[in-house]
Amino acid sequence: MLTSILGPYTRTILTGVIIWITIVFCFTLMSNAYVGIFPFFEWMETTWFGIIGKTWGAAFAFVQTIHLLSLALLGGAVLAAEGRILGLLLTDVSAQIVIERCHVLLVWALVLLISTGVFMACGVALKVYYLPVFWYKMLALGTGILFHFYIRKPLFRFDLQQINPIVVKMTAIASILVWFMVAATGRWIGFSG
């Protein structure tokens, strides 16, 4: 449907539109949205997750451990796949096999990360609301998910030899950078406030 309207460069056009909307949103509507979303964060602290996270330190620590382990799993999957694409490691294994298997690991890591992350955010909802770095993390996480599923996966469906080598390297480096941003800003939240 979209292809018939936008022509053969649907993905490129939509990528440009998403980038443009994100930039415009950050410079215009974000302050209004920031104020509007405050009641949601207040509500998060009153949920069962919020109450358990605030009152039972052991539960928070247990969930945080799973969160950090899944972050490590995600980091490993990204570094292994992008390292293979950049020709730095696992060069004796087919790139497609490494990419496919690391994708499965990444999906599981993401599911664990998001589910434990929601629990943790409920426990400290008002703290993270006022932290700019939390919003950078959310931006990085959203970008990472979109980039992985909408850009990287369809690109590496093709044989690496068919793709322009500069695009291959740029995609691998961008993938490492975006997940590095997710991990670094995540740890930053832990050291803030």
Q: Would you count residue 8 as binding another protein (CB under 8 A)? A: yes
Enclosing H/E stretch for 89: none
Of positions 2, 9, 91, 193, contacts another protein by CB under 8 A: 9
> Among residue numbers 85 through 144, which ones bind another protein (CB under 8 A)?
136, 143
Q: Which residues contact 57 (CB under 8 A, 6 or more apart)?
A: none
In the complex with another protein, the residue whose CB is nearer, 23 or 111, is 23
Closest C-alpha among 78, 141, 152, 146 to residue 114:
141
In the complex with another protein, the residue whose CB is nearer, 112 or 188, is 188
Of positions 163, 183, 187, 192, contacts another protein by CB under 8 A: 163
> Among residue numbers 143 through 162, which ones bind another protein (CB under 8 A)?
143, 147, 150-152, 154-155, 157-158, 162
Q: Is 113 exposed, middle or buried (0-12, 13-18, 19+ CB in 10 A)?
A: buried
Q: What is the DSSP letter of 90?
A: -
Q: Would you count residue 25 as binding another protein (CB under 8 A)? A: no
CA distances from 175 to 53, 99, 138 (A): 32, 13, 16
The pair of three-digit structure tokens given for residue 92, joined into one six-digit string: 């004796």
Binding region for another protein (CB under 8 A) out of 43-51, 72-80, 88-96, 167-175? 167-175
CB of 57 to another protein, least distance (A): 31
Q: What is the DSSP letter of 152?
A: I
